[in-house]
Structure 1
Amino acid sequence: MTNKIFMALTFIGVPLSVIGTVMHWPSIILFVLYCLTIIALSSFMGRATESLAIVAGPRIGGLLNATFGNAVELIISVFALKAGLVGVVLASLTGSVLGNLLLVAGLSFFIGGLKFKRQEFNVFDARHNSGLLIFAVMIAFVIPEVFSMNMNETKTITLSIGISVILIFLYLAALFFKLVTHRGVYQPSGETEGHEEEEPEWGKRKAIAVLFIATIAVAYISEHLVHTFEYVAESFGWTELFIGVIIVAIVGNAAEHASAVLMAYKNKMDVAVEIAVGSTLQVAMFVLPVLVLISLFFDQTMPLLFSWQELIAMISSVLLMVVISNDGETNWFEGLTLLAAYIIMGIGFFLL
Structure 2
Amino acid sequence: MDRLFFLLTAIGIPLSIIGNFLHFPALILFIIYCLTIIGLASYIGRATESLAIISGPSIGGLLNATFGNAVELIISFFALQEGLVNVVMASLTGSIIGNLLLVGGLSILFGGFKYKRQQFNIHDAAHNAGIMVFSLIVSFVFPAVFAAKMDVHSIKFLSTVISCIMILIYLFSLVFRLVTHRGVYKMQQDNISVILEEEHPEWGKGRSMLILAVTTVVVALISERLVGTIEPVGEQLGWSELFIGIIIVAIVGNAAEHASAVLMAVKNRIDIAVEISVGSTLQIAMFVAPVLVLISWGFQTFMPLVFPVTELIAMALAAILTISITADGDTNWFEGAMLLAAYVIMGFGFFLL
**TM-score, normalised by the number of residues in structure 1:** 0.90
Offset from partner CA, 1:296-332 (integer Å, 9 cap, x none) = 1111111111110000000000111111112222221
From the superposition, tell whether residues 249 and 269 of structure 1 become closer, same or farther in structure 2 (CA, over 3 Å).
same
- 1:349 corresponding residue in structure 2: 350
- 2:311 corresponding residue in structure 1: 310
- Separation in structure 2 between the aligned mates of residue 210 and residue 322 of structure 1, nearest angstrom: 37
| Higher mean displacement: 178-187 or 240-249 | 178-187
- 1:202 corresponding residue in structure 2: 202
- Separation in structure 2 between the aligned mates of residue 311 and residue 87 of structure 1, nearest angstrom: 14
- Separation in structure 2 between the aligned mates of residue 285 and residue 95 of structure 1, nearest angstrom: 15
> What's the Cα RMSD here?
2.7
State the shift of 1:65 in Å: 6.4
Residue type at the aligned position of 2:27: I
- 2:244 corresponding residue in structure 1: 243
- 1:38 corresponding residue in structure 2: 37
1:339 aligns with 2:345: no
State the shift of 1:292 in Å: 0.4
Offset from partner CA, 1:66-85 (integer Å, 9 cap, x none) = 75341101000000000000
Residue type at the aligned position of 2:202: W
Do 2:261 and 2:277's aligned partners in 1 also have CA atoms closer than 8 Å?
A: yes
- Separation in structure 2 between the aligned mates of residue 196 and residue 25 of structure 1, nearest angstrom: 42
State the shift of 1:244 in Å: 0.5
- Separation in structure 2 between the aligned mates of residue 306 and residue 185 of structure 1, nearest angstrom: 35
Residue type at the aligned position of 2:107: S
* 1:149-188 mapped onto 2 (5 Å cutoff): 149-186=148-185
Do 2:54 and 2:201's aligned partners in 1 also have CA atoms closer than 8 Å?
A: no
**TM-score, normalised by the number of residues in structure 2:** 0.90
- Separation in structure 2 between the aligned mates of residue 303 and residue 199 of structure 1, nearest angstrom: 40
Do 1:63 and 1:278's aligned partners in 2 also have CA atoms closer than 8 Å?
A: no
- Separation in structure 2 between the aligned mates of residue 284 and residue 42 of structure 1, nearest angstrom: 20
| Higher mean displacement: 76-85 or 323-332 | 323-332
| Higher mean displacement: 131-140 or 151-160 | 131-140
- 2:12 corresponding residue in structure 1: 13
- Separation in structure 2 between the aligned mates of residue 284 and residue 47 of structure 1, nearest angstrom: 23
Residue type at the aligned position of 1:324: I
From the superposition, tell whether residues 251 and 241 of structure 1 become closer, same or farther in structure 2 (CA, over 3 Å).
same
Percent identity reads 61
- Separation in structure 1 between the aligned mates of residue 114 and residue 319 of structure 2, nearest angstrom: 26
Residue type at the aligned position of 1:202: E
Residue type at the aligned position of 2:232: Y
Do 1:161 and 1:292's aligned partners in 2 also have CA atoms closer than 8 Å?
A: yes
Do 2:58 and 2:175's aligned partners in 1 also have CA atoms closer than 8 Å?
A: no
1:297 aligns with 2:298: yes
| Higher mean displacement: 269-278 or 244-253 | 269-278
* 1:20-99 mapped onto 2 (5 Å cutoff): 20-48=19-47, 68-99=67-98
State the shift of 1:56 in Å: 9.0
State the shift of 1:132 in Å: 1.2
Do 1:73 and 1:249's aligned partners in 2 also have CA atoms closer than 8 Å?
A: yes
Do 1:28 and 1:232's aligned partners in 2 also have CA atoms closer than 8 Å?
A: yes
State the shift of 1:5 in Å: 3.3
Offset from partner CA, 1:282-304 (integer Å, 9 cap, x none) = 00011000100110111111111
- Give the paired residue count: 347
Any stretches of 5+ residues in structure 1 without a counterpart?
none
State the shift of 1:123 in Å: 2.2
State the shift of 1:337 in Å: 1.1
| Higher mean displacement: 134-143 or 62-71 | 62-71
| Higher mean displacement: 50-59 or 223-232 | 50-59
1:321 aligns with 2:322: yes
